């Protein structure tokens, strides 16, 4: 899948030189594409309920949306580790520790522990 640089989106200006980039910047297009797909799936579930579709069919679609959102979350976590955490740990041990703590909290929230 081709990634779209974050500055390629016409609705967003190119980052200023030296400006901080988010860890997901290189995969922003991929994440947005997945989220747009999820958005369409949720609208489909709404139509299913409105059309009085069978409960199990609706639950199956809810499961698919949940999994799709989990995939977005995993992608963002991966980007965060590879960019934000790694860069912080290399440049400043104290900042690296903060990013590792932040990552632990994010993982707990994502995994609901």
**Any residues with CB less than 8 A from the CB of 85 and at least 6 apart, and which?**
96, 99, 100, 103
The Cα 89–Cα 80 span in angstroms is: 12
Q: What angle do CA 2, 87, 93 make, to 5 degrees?
A: 160
The Cα 70–Cα 34 span in angstroms is: 11
Tens digit of pLDDT for each residue in 84-97? 888 889 999 999 89
Residue 88 has, within 13 A of its CA and on its CB side, a CA count of 20
Tens digit of pLDDT for each residue in 47-85? 999 999 999 999 999 999 999 999 999 898 898 888 888
The Cα 90–Cα 85 span in angstroms is: 9
Domain 24-111 coded CATH 1.20.58.1000:
yes
Which band of pLDDT confidence, cut at 50, 70 and 90, is reported for residue 112? confident
- DSSP code of residue 12: S
């Amino acid at each position: 899948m081709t990634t779209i640089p974050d500055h390629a989106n016409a609705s967003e200006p190119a980052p200023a030189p030296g400006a901080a980039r988010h860890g997901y910047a290189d995969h922003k297009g991929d994440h947005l594409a997945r989220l747009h797909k999820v958005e369409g799936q949720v609208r489909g579930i709404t139509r299913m309920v409105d059309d009085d579709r069978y409960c199990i069919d609706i639950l199956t679609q809810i499961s698919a949306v949940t999994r799709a959102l989990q995939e977005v979350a995993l992608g963002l976590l991966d980007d965060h580790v590879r960019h934000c955490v790694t860069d912080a740990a290399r440049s400043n041990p104290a900042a690296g520790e903060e990013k590792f703590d932040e990552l632990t909290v994010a993982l707990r929230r994502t995994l609901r522990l």
